[in-house]
Structure 1
């Protein structure tokens, strides 16, 4: 008899393959702490916050970057904001402080300010994941929003030079979701980010998390969480852009035309539904085959001939006609395309 893994086993094995290692995470957080200390020194009285995948608990390996920001005091922020000064001076101050504090430890350190849209880009010249080219950090210089809700963050690509956002609330919401779902939220997002990267990145990671915040709110098996997400996300993207979960920033943009993103979400949902149906009806090989379409690099393509041989053997031992097993499999095992959402 051919042994097949359950969907739960396949997904658990898959998410472990991409989960960031303790060593990567420890070093990334250490460097993030160094950066936070530098910008607090550069802007006395300021506060720092962490965001992005490391702060959100959903980082994958290889780990290539980290995100953080500093929020100036109200007094220091007075000259800056829409209709006032841009963040360029603040970014240059942050750059100089980081160089002063970190150059000795990281001799290949480079920092970019010119042409950066939102944040100072720090290149360490030293990866935290062996085999990677580098490790970087986005360091944002933000100011309080006059309303008390959210921040003004730099946007050098628009006339006002500033955008409204609330990354602090975003991180709080994500961490709360992880707690309420007993880590299912983070594990599902890891898988979804991998799906997104495997299929030409139709969405940014934050869009995935923003949609997940509205549909993943309790513990559940990972295969169910994927079905819930793709069902909800397809419906929501079909209606329009994803709103900011904090209710502060504008809608979250997509990386592709909305009809194309909607099509990819619908196709993924159909394969997840098919995988669940096959497993329910005792066809683990076909269940794995369907799941492989969604996560081709994490779930191996099964050998359908092995399952067919096993099914025929069972049928023969039970005295059933051999063709009953053959007919069941050949009707569904061969899709016309490996990735129906087009690449």
Structure 2
């Protein structure tokens, strides 16, 4: 028997999944950067992190994340195990090291600075996208697991274990990994519909790692993550670092806003699953979750028009019920924030 909920979620996935050409380009750029970075004085190793090794990019592809781990013994003044210095002065040297070789392949490449280290832009769009590389400048730790990574905005060091995170997030059997990846992509697309997302990609990935279980289909797994996350945030309980190194995962918005968004999405998905044999009811429920991607078939008149504007589609004044000569109304801002945050 066909699951309408699964079917419509797959329709959303077809809209949000990253294009293979852009992903391949992001991977190539990160691999090139890592290869060159390994020849930097004091380099210990490099690693890939984030969406690339997890296969959780959504469209459009942005950053290819990775890290360069420096040997703290080569830089005795750096980090909490040394004199507490941050690598502010090293980043220009690293950019001078990376830039010339990267420009042999990408002539328009430029190396700047982000929160954690160098950020390389390449100036060569592929499939309309121009993935950058964020290279975290990390430092081995004298005691404990993980790495010291800098916060260059606050000039402080923070403990983290991005390499362990990747091990955890890609663990499990093939079916579990596939479902988890798909749930994470759906979560990212849902979260990014809002002008100011409430959750980091890392936060959503941790929840998927915690709550998605083996033998669960996509719709049920997605529903479980939303409902379990809503319960946790509502209770005020913390989401802890799976690696046991970093501080608790932080929300990007207030707890009230985060809970409202999670509950609206969880309720919409629960409605879809309750009426899985009724395609219109499923579409109506899932339109509450993916309001930028799906129409609510139960919506009429102005409500349907507002839904179209929310998805940045031009509509006519006639559809809005306005008198006079018909004209086209084009969206001037992102809709969806106020309706679902009330």
Relative to the length of structure 2, the TM-score reads 0.81
1:74, CA displacement in angstroms?
4.3
Structure 1 stretches of at least 4 aligned residues deviating more than 6 Å after TM superposition: none
Distance 2:111 2:157 in 1: 21
1:66, CA displacement in angstroms?
0.7
Matches within 5 A, 1:197-236: 197-200=192-195, 201-236=197-232
Deviation by residue 1:250-305 (Cα, 9 ceiling, x = unmatched): 122222111110111111111111111122xx422111111111012333433689
What is the aligned counterpart of 1:61 among 59, 75, 78? 59
Matches within 5 A, 1:65-144: 65-82=63-80, 83-113=83-113, 116-130=114-128, 132=129, 134-144=130-140
Distance 1:268 1:19 in 2: 20
What is the aligned counterpart of 2:291 among 271, 290, 296? 296
Q: CA RMSD in A?
A: 2.3
1:213, CA displacement in angstroms?
1.4
Distance 1:22 1:178 in 2: 23
Distance 2:249 2:184 in 1: 17
Change (3 A) 1:151 1:178: farther
Between structure 1 and structure 2, the one with the greater Rg is 1
What is the aligned counterpart of 1:183 among 174, 178, 181? 178
1:137, CA displacement in angstroms?
1.2
Distance 1:299 1:188 in 2: 18
Matches within 5 A, 1:305-316: none
Change (3 A) 1:163 1:338: closer
Q: What SS is found at the alignment partner of 2:341? A: coil
Distance 2:221 2:278 in 1: 21
Distance 1:183 1:100 in 2: 39
How many residues align? The count is: 302
Aligned to 2:251: 254
Q: Which runs of 5+ in 1 are unaligned?
A: 306-336
Q: Which runs of 5+ in 2 are unaligned?
A: 301-335
Distance 1:72 1:338 in 2: 42
1:144, CA displacement in angstroms?
1.0
Deviation by residue 1:41-75 (Cα, 9 ceiling, x = unmatched): 11355211111111211011211221110112342
> Would you say 1:284 and 2:279 are equivalent positions?
yes
Change (3 A) 1:177 1:300: farther
Aligned partners of 1:177 and 1:217 also within 8 Å: no
Aligned to 2:266: 269
Distance 1:122 1:178 in 2: 35
Distance 1:303 1:45 in 2: 59
Q: What SS is found at the alignment partner of 2:149? A: strand
The structure, 1 or 2, with the larger RCO (C-alpha pairs under 8 Å, 6+ apart) is: 1
The structure with the greater share of residues assigned to helix is 1
1:240, CA displacement in angstroms?
3.6
Aligned to 2:149: 153
Relative to the length of structure 1, the TM-score reads 0.81
Aligned to 2:305: none
1:21, CA displacement in angstroms?
2.4
Aligned partners of 2:141 and 2:147 also within 8 Å: yes
Distance 1:38 1:120 in 2: 13
Q: What SS is found at the alignment partner of 1:75? A: coil
